[in-house]
Structure 1
Amino acid sequence: MTLQTENRLSVAEAQAICLRNNIPFYSYRLPGSHEVVFGAQLTNNIRLFKGFEKHRGEKGFIITPFNPASWSFPFFIQADLTFTDYLTDQEAIVNLRNTVFNTPGRIFTKQDCEHFEYLDELRTLIATLKREGMRKAVLSRTITIPCDSLRIAPVLFEQMRQYHHAFLFFAAIPGKCAWIGASPETFLKYDRNGFFSMSLAGTQPVSTAQNPPQWGEKDIEEQQIVTDYIQNTLKQFFTRHLETEGPITLQAGNVFHLCTFFRSDEQIPPDRIDELVTQLHPTPAVCGIPKKRAMQVITEIEKQERGYYAGYLGPLQATGAFDLFVNLRTMEVFDDALKLYVGGGITPLSDPETEWQETCQKADTLLNLIRQINYGKTTF
């Protein structure tokens, strides 16, 4: 852990100040980058995200829920103060330290699914898929770890920097939401070169997979469902050029995934970007197909509210460029606990016990980091 020197502030120190003083903030590192960007909103005015056209010319961070129709609202954290890696402006450091908001804390309520409960949910879901002829739906569960989360979270973010190919993020709006994670999945990226997206589905543990992994019928079908949906959606907006690459095998922590990439150098106006995002989210990678019915089934069967899990989040630049990722491999940060969310794509071919084990494998990476910090091997 890099400690603050006399004349500079690290990202971890800035995160700790914001958590202590109830300041809305975000921090992230893009896949393949070594730079960590930090931003803080120095007002207590909670802003809703109203779309790319409405926020044209603004810089900040977007965090949106899984279900656009839920009571979890999309938020925008504005970049009143921002720096990369270290803050050296002494006036800005003092200003950050002296900014304090009185915001109610967020205490967790444990609603985790035990093994047998999750198997029952899986059997119900698989029976529903077969009965209704649905191709796929995604089921998730939570793992709650009571802990000194406000101390642990900045340390955890620092430790997660080892996952170079993931989108690393820690964003918090006090009293509303706080999430930390290392997502392997790009939702939608836009800059002057055009647009980029991906379909990510199918999972094998690195420890038991062949090299290269051999993919079974269930994983191949699941990935194709997601690929077809994203490709058909993008074709409605990119009529001149849409490049597709894949599927290829992608490693994310201790698991492999199947992945297909989509690129277009076409430019579309902000109102069309809003329309594209609305049609694209949520993809079958985190919801299912058909989407409307899958959303209903998930709401009926899952024990917990997803909130911002499997929504999208990421930075928005004043130029209009953005990097949005699916909120996966993620934890919700409460004042007294971390709640880890994990899930998997279910098809009529799914085996309940195998699907349970997949969620355990996905959770292991973050759980191991928390154990190391909690047991005193890493200190802040």
Structure 2
Amino acid sequence: MPPHRDGQLSAGSPLVTRTCRVPDVSFRSFLAERAAPRLYWTSPDGLEIAASGATARLSADGGRRFDEIREDAAELFESVTWDDGPCQARPRLFGGFSFDAEHEPTPPWDGFPGAEFVLPRVQLTRTETGTWLSVSARETTEESVEDILGETRTEIKTLPTMRPRSDSPGIESTHPVTARDEWCSQIRNVTDRIRDGELKKVVIATALKVKLDESVVVPDILERLRTSYPECYRFLVQPSSSGGFFGAPPERLVSFRGQTVETEALAGSVGRGETPEEDDELAAELADSEKVREEHELVAQTIRDGLEPLASSVTVGERRLKRLSTIQHLQTPISAELDETEHVLTVVEALHPTPAVGGLPPEDAMRTIRETERFDRGWYASPVGWFDADGDGEFAVGIRSGVASDDRVTLFAGNGIVADSDPEAEWDEVRLKFLPILNELE
């Protein structure tokens, strides 16, 4: 499938990116004023990008979607000229993949194919040294990229440096896609399969439909999540006006620079206590739980197994506790040095889905997920992120997430199920995972 490029652009003219420094502005205001496609990405290490418009789109479906995006991106980047601005403001493709190769876009996932990446027309990048505006467009006789850059720079100067905190939209009602009794029945069925030897572990997810009092402004919710979950990624992928996928995932799938991979196992969770003493007690129970340790080690070992065919060395760090506002997890950092120059999408494909969102064995777990869950995961629990012309990039796992359109939001959450999982306890735990976004909506 060749790259699909915006029909308003001239396919025969050079594709150019130009960059200039601009005064710092409210990224929230920038996104709120722009039409779809809209994109937002910020990582715990401080990189923050807001972007809009589509100079080029790459889309793919099916089992070869990783290969097709990688091949089409190489062709696209060969046509891009960029020679100014700091490295952080370089052209990048932003987007993600569906969880399941068999995904077909249906509500609430209208406009989300099996894979889609956008080279934005306008990209704002905030770095330690300042804020940078990058414009990517095709040179035409009617308008140069320098002209577009100048016009956009003037437009951005009118934006405020701070946007006042807005009220949350408020929640009118919530409706679980899977009722408690049905969920518990699903978990009992899955644990029976595990005890019979069909599976080692599988993640079963559910969804919560939320009706709001008024339309949601996703950039405002992302700003609230910045305050509540500063140690998490935050993202928005909105391909069209029909809906936007957003979230604050705590889990890095892969960060890739040169030949160095940074990833992690994040599996096993418990709530936060009302007091420091109760918090510590819950954390100790989490660390001492045989069920949780088994689940966590399965995830860590599978990630290591996925990296070893590509790597000259894989290093597994010490397991530790990762505490968030409403939940705490066990986390093990993992890094690798690759044998040869690779593309980040090669690593993404090798790791997705990790057992933290899929299961083991992978094929049997995927079949169980399809047979058990009563909804389409779409891009939930999928790789979401960016990559550049060198094949470097960063992807998070699209959990703690939802898809929003007007006054409707669908939230997603899942739990890892092993042989001794208790259905009632799993129900309580999975509902904790809705809270990061649910709290910011009400």
Calculate the TM-score normalised by the size of structure 2: 0.72
Indicate the residue corresponding to 2:310 in structure 1.
237
Alignment partner of 1:246: what SS? coil
Shift of 1:325: 0.6
C-alpha distance in 2, partners of 1:37/1:92? Answer: 16
Alignment partner of 1:358: what SS? helix
The answer on 1:249 being equivalent to 2:317 is: no
Indicate the residue corresponding to 2:171 in structure 1.
none
Shift of 1:136: 0.4
Structure 1 141/203 Cα, relative in aligned 2: closer, same or farther at 3 Å? same
Structure 1 282/45 Cα, relative in aligned 2: closer, same or farther at 3 Å? closer
The answer on 1:297 being equivalent to 2:368 is: yes
Indicate the residue corresponding to 1:74 in structure 2.
115
The answer on 1:181 being equivalent to 2:247 is: yes
1:164-196 CA distances to partner (integer Å, 9 max, x unpaired)? 211111111016752111111111110136111
C-alpha distance in 2, partners of 1:225/1:74? Answer: 28
Structure 1 322/187 Cα, relative in aligned 2: closer, same or farther at 3 Å? same
Which 5+ residue runs of structure 1 have no aligned equivalent? Answer: 1-6, 97-109, 372-380
Give me the CA root mean square deviation. Answer: 2.6
The answer on 1:40 being equivalent to 2:52 is: yes
Structure 1 65/42 Cα, relative in aligned 2: closer, same or farther at 3 Å? closer
1:52 counterpart (70, 80, 86): 70
The answer on 1:92 being equivalent to 2:162 is: no
Indicate the residue corresponding to 1:100 in structure 2.
none
Please list, as runs of the form range in 1=range in 2, the aligned pairs for 1:335-350 lying within 5 A after superposition.
Answer: 335-350=406-421
C-alpha distance in 1, partners of 2:375/2:297? Answer: 28
1:130-159 CA distances to partner (integer Å, 9 max, x unpaired)? 224411000111111112675431210111
Shift of 1:53: 4.6
C-alpha distance in 2, partners of 1:204/1:226? Answer: 17
Alignment partner of 2:396: what SS? strand
1:30 counterpart (43, 46, 62): 43
Larger RCO of the pair (alpha carbons < 8 Å, separation 6+): 1
Shift of 1:87: 7.4
AA aligned to 1:144 is K
The answer on 1:204 being equivalent to 2:276 is: no
C-alpha distance in 2, partners of 1:45/1:26? Answer: 13
C-alpha distance in 1, partners of 2:345/2:298? Answer: 23
Please list, as runs of the form range in 1=range in 2, the aligned pairs for 1:293-332 lying within 5 A after superposition.
Answer: 293-332=364-403
AA aligned to 1:179 is F
C-alpha distance in 1, partners of 2:302/2:366? Answer: 15
Shift of 1:251: 1.6
C-alpha distance in 2, partners of 1:150/1:350? Answer: 38
C-alpha distance in 2, partners of 1:199/1:348? Answer: 20
1:224-272 CA distances to partner (integer Å, 9 max, x unpaired)? 111111111111111x22211022111233111111111123363346x
C-alpha distance in 2, partners of 1:82/1:158? Answer: 18
Shift of 1:73: 1.2
C-alpha distance in 2, partners of 1:337/1:44? Answer: 29
Calculate the TM-score normalised by the size of structure 1: 0.83
AA aligned to 1:39 is A
Please list, as runs of the form range in 1=range in 2, the aligned pairs for 1:352-363 lying within 5 A after superposition.
Answer: 352-363=423-434
Structure 1 274/161 Cα, relative in aligned 2: closer, same or farther at 3 Å? closer
Larger Rg: 2
1:65 counterpart (98, 111, 115): 98
The sequence identity of aligned pairs, in percent, is 23
C-alpha distance in 2, partners of 1:295/1:149? Answer: 37
Alignment partner of 2:389: what SS? coil
Alignment partner of 2:196: what SS? helix
Shift of 1:46: 6.3
1:19-57 CA distances to partner (integer Å, 9 max, x unpaired)? xx3x21211111142x53112234585644733354234
C-alpha distance in 2, partners of 1:360/1:324? Answer: 25
1:264-284 CA distances to partner (integer Å, 9 max, x unpaired)? 23363346x544432321111
C-alpha distance in 2, partners of 1:176/1:64? Answer: 18
Q: Report if the CA contact (8 A) 2:198-2:364 is conserved.
A: no
The answer on 1:161 being equivalent to 2:226 is: yes
1:45-98 CA distances to partner (integer Å, 9 max, x unpaired)? 5644733354234612121111123224111011221113567776116789xx
C-alpha distance in 1, partners of 2:243/2:341? Answer: 30
C-alpha distance in 2, partners of 1:149/1:295? Answer: 37
AA aligned to 1:80 is R
Which 5+ residue runs of structure 2 have no aligned equivalent? Answer: 1-22, 78-90, 105-112, 134-148, 157-174
The answer on 1:152 being equivalent to 2:222 is: no
Indicate the residue corresponding to 2:296 in structure 1.
223
Indicate the residue corresponding to 1:102 in structure 2.
none
Q: Report if the CA contact (8 A) 2:58-2:73 is conserved.
A: no
Alignment partner of 1:241: what SS? strand
C-alpha distance in 2, partners of 1:346/1:299? Answer: 15
Please list, as runs of the form range in 1=range in 2, the aligned pairs for 1:114-133 lying within 5 A after superposition.
Answer: 114-133=179-198
C-alpha distance in 2, partners of 1:282/1:367? Answer: 25
